[in-house]
A and B are shown apart, each in its own frame.
Chain A
Amino acid sequence: MATIKSLDDLRKMKESLQSKINLREKGEDPNSHVQIKVAMATCGIASGAKTVMEFMMEELEKRGIDSIITQTGCMGYCYAEPTIEVTMPGKEPVVFGYVDTKKADEIIEKYIKNGELVDGIIPMNYETIDKK
């Protein structure tokens, strides 16, 4: 791993990492995949996020859907754990709450395969600092 020797290094690194992520998220990358983030803080794990994450990894692979599944921190919706965020290439991220394996299955079959939303979406109710 290269060390970062100056602020310039860091800035360049950020640019390249960010553009990679943007490509992925905006779906401009021809190899773009579905991205799934699973909220895996203590609250999420306590309500079964790990099982959901494992289930999704296995099932997406079995069903031949290319995807990137990562863990992330608490999304703040502790009342609706486990929560996951699904970003389809070229689309806004969608957060689903109360995801058990059954719901996860429905999300894969309906949303990920056909772009149909399913019950249990958690609307984003905060502002990010990016826009400010």
Chain B
Amino acid sequence: MHLLVCGGTGCRASASDSIIEKLKSEITAKGLQDEVQVIMTGCFGFCEKGPIVKILPDNTFYTQVKPDDAAEIVAEHVIKGRKVNRLLYVDPENKEHVSDSKHMGFYRKQIRIALRNCGFINPENIDEAIARDAYQALGKVLAEYKPAETIDIIKKSGLRGRGGGGFPTGLKWEIASKNKADQKYVVCNADEGDPGAFMDRSVLEGDPHTVLEAMAICGYCIGATQGLIYIRAEYPLAIKRLKIAIEQAHEYGLLGKNIMGSGFDFDITLRYGAGAFVCGEETALIHSMEGLRGEPTNKPPFPAESGFLNKPTNVNNVETFASIPVIILKGSEWFASIGTEKSKGTKVFALAGKINNVGLIEVPMGTTLREVIFEIGGGIKNGKKFKAVQTGGPSGGCLTEKHLDTPIDFDNLIAAGSMMGSGGMIVMDEDDCMVSVAKFFLDFTVEESCGKCAPCRIGNKRLFELLERITKGEGTMEDLERLQNLCKVIKDTALCGLGQTSPNPILSTMDNFYNEYLAHVNDKKCPAGQCKSLMKYVIDPEACVGCTACARNCPVNAISGERKKPHLIDTAICIKCGACIEKCKFNAISIK
């Protein structure tokens, strides 16, 4: 028998360590140490009901266990085989105790559709992919459906593009299929330039065949025989695995001429990007593949009319493609049964920042931020307080406490002042300064702006300078007003999505954390204590015993004072390195 005790950060904060100890000593006391082992595990993704104890082999799932419950668990469950009812999870719907974790699938907030094979198959072996249904959907489509029927399935599934915009995929395919041309192209957008996002890379590294298969299905639907994957050269492992996958698919005749005897030909080649964020924008991406500068052009014409080499081109994101084969095999109704009214299926998020369980998750649309951050994500690092989460990367905005219970989908996120974006979620805690966060993203856009249009090239630079003044304590109330006005002008006049969305991090932090801006401007203070220029190190004369440890460790000799007398920091010399705080044993130094 095994007693699994959650040792994830959330449960550990509520004493799972001492549960382990108590269980172990109870078991030893009863002389059962050879038959029963107590094991510490990682997070169960159920932290809100932690600490969790799970018992194997019978899969009993105890929640909110206290160290004092250990004796009862051992005496009742381990020895007499009787479950401790009061510790069982109570189903919120029917108020019944759920005894067996196999029957509490609902606690698993995640469903893996796009990630279904990641971490299961060896991505360099096509046989393993085939054993898990790879190319079945392509085979079925080629043998049984007309292109229009297939497009209809995708339309009915409600799938919307996962690359950021959320455009209905079936509709996009239909438009491309209706445009007549001698050649058309299917493009997979694997540029993934959003800082903090790595889901596309993971899909390509873990399950390259699903993307190849879906591209071929798309080719069949729109009448294209050529596919291109635009991938950043910074993803060498994904590139290697894609190449192997393409080669193996060719050997099996699953790509190339006359696929599975259907008469349909389809081939895929790779194109490498140099890692410019703007090249993720579809028109810039297409120009980059044509060997031109990676600059966007006005839409219309949309790629579906005139894209790569001026031919109709369908561009979709990696994760969008990865959902396609499952939709074909399991049906559009199945897919449409997951998610919210206008956003169907699941979305992959990359959790990053001040969150315990950094990683990739896939949840049904409509899951709340609270579930994502506090249950699956295991809550905030080091027990700090949640402050905000940035979704949509540099194009998105931050969501706060008041948005925690909003179901996540395309439309709700936009209504909340952010956007889905590609699925990066950067979690911030009380120590993060929101003005600095906005500055971080602006720094990124200034760097990544292609420079083609003036609002973005010049405007973002000015926005960045304004933010810099504010974080240095040189900002004025007029600056705040200018900031807001300029944001609006850039949004309205920039040529492409990069510029049109780049002010979002400023607008949303101003919306949600205006007081923090005011503190920087009026009080010359950074409430989070992040803006170095606004920090002042001071010694509390009451607490200081005059041990001289600080003065001896200050690299610039900014601290003076006699032995056994309170010391003083000369703020004109202080470089705010923090060395003194670390050395002071009496907590006499603080940042004001």
List residues of A whose CB falls within 8 A of some B CB.
1-7, 9-11, 13-14, 17-18, 20-21, 37, 39, 41-43, 45, 70-80, 85, 97, 116-129, 131-132
The answer to whether A129 and B205 touch (CB under 8 A), given A5-B260, A77-B42, is no
B277 within 8 A of A: no
Measured CB to CB, the closest approach of chain A to B491, in angstroms, equals 34
Bound form: Cα–Cα A19–B41 in Å: 32
The answer to whether A129 and B326 have CB atoms under 8 Å apart is: yes
Name B2's closest neighbour in chain A (CB-CB): A117
Question: Are A3 and B112 interface neighbours, CB within 8 A?
Answer: no
**Closest residue of A by beta carbon distance from B208:** A73
Residue interface bits B1-29, CB-to-A below 8 A is 1, else 0 = 01010110000000000000000000000
Q: Is the CB of A121 within 8 A of B43?
A: no
Evaluate contact between B359 and A125: CB separation under 8 angstroms: no
A53, chain B: closest CB distance, angstroms: 12
Does B360 lie within 8 Å of A76, measured CB to CB? yes
Given contact pairs A3-B252, A3-B253, A125-B110, enumerate 5 new A-B contacts (beta carbons under 8 Å). Answer: A14-B131, A73-B207, A74-B118, A117-B4, A123-B43
Are B39 and A123 in touch, CB under 8 angstroms? no
9 CB contacts below 8 A, A to B, read A10-B136, A14-B131, A18-B131, A73-B207, A74-B360, A75-B119, A121-B42, A127-B110, A127-B112
Task: Among A13, A21, A75, A118, find the residue whose CB has the most chain B CB atoms closer than 10 A.
Answer: A75
Q: Of B41, B130, B140, which contacts A123 at CB under 8 A?
A: B41
Asked if B115 is an interface residue, CB under 8 A from chain A, the answer is yes
A78 — which chain B residues lie within 8 A by C-beta? 358-360
- Fill in one digit per residue for B102-122: 1 if any A CB lies within 8 Å of its CB, else 0: 000100111111011111111
Which 9 residue pairs are nearest across A and B when measured between Cβ atoms?
A73-B206, A126-B110, A125-B45, A75-B119, A3-B253, A7-B139, A17-B131, A78-B359, A122-B42
Contacts known (A42-B205, A74-B205); A132 close to B334, Cβ less than 8 A = yes
The answer to whether the Cβ of B362 comes within 8 Å of any Cβ in the partner chain is yes
Q: Which of B116, B131, B359, B362 is A77 in contact with, Cβ under 8 Å?
A: B359
Known: A21-B131, A73-B123, A97-B42. A11 touches B201 (CB 8 A): no
- Contacts of A71 on B, CB cut-off 8 Å? 122-124
Interface hits, B119-146 → A, CB 8 Å: 119-125, 127-128, 130-133, 135-136, 139-140, 142-143
**Chain A residues positioned under 8 Å from B65 (CB to CB):** none
B120 adjacent to A72 (CB under 8 Å): yes
A-chain residues with CB within 8 Å of residue B131 when the two chains form the complex? 14, 17-18, 20-21
Count residues of chain B with CB under 8 A from any CB of chain A. 72
- What residue of chain A has the Cβ atom nearest to residue B362's Cβ? A126
Q: Are B41 and A122 in contact (CB under 8 A)?
A: yes
Closest to B352 in A: A78
Q: How far is it, in angstroms, between the C-alpha of A117 and the C-alpha of B105 when the chains are bound?
A: 23
Contact with A along B323-359 (1 / 0, CB 8 A): 0001000100010000000000000000000001111
CB of B130 within 8 A of CB of A7, answer no
Closest to A41 in B: B205
B residues 72-118 in Cβ contact with A at 8 Å: 105, 108-113, 115-118
**Is A117's CB under 8 angstroms from B39's CB?**
yes
Say if the beta carbon of B54 comes within 8 Å of chain A.
Answer: yes
Chain B residues contacting A20 (CB-CB under 8 Å) are 131
B237, CB-defined interface residue at 8 Å: yes
B130 & A13 in contact (Cβ 8 Å cutoff): yes
A93 shortest CB reach to chain B, Å: 9
Q: Pick from B116, B132, B139 the residue with the most CB of A within 10 Å.
A: B139
> What residue in chain A is nearest B40 (Cβ atoms)?
A119
The reply to whether the CB of B44 lies closer than 8 angstroms to some CB of chain A is yes
Q: Which residue of A1, A11, A37, A70 is within 8 Å of B136 (Cβ)?
A: A11
What residues on B are CB-neighbors of A13 within 8 Å? 130
Known interface pairs A125-B110, A129-B113; A120-B251 also in contact (CB < 8 Å) = no
Contacting residues, chain A, for B376 (C-beta < 8 A): 125
User: Would you call B142 and A73 a contact (CB within 8 A)?
Assistant: no
A18 and B127 CA atoms in complex are apart in Å by 9
Of B39, B109, B122, B135, the residue contacting A72 (CB under 8 A) is B122
Asked whether A121 lies within 8 Å of B109 as measured between CB atoms, the reply is no
Residues of B within 8 A of A122 (CB): 41-43
Cα distance, A127 to B364, chains bound together (Å): 11
B361 within 8 A of partner (CB)? yes
CA distance A6 to B140 in the complex (A): 10
Tell me the smallest distance from the CB of B587 to a CB of chain A, in Å: 32
Q: Please pick, from A73, A76, A117, A128, the residue contacting B37 in the complex, using a CB distance under 8 A.
A: A117
B214 CB within 8 Å of chain A: no
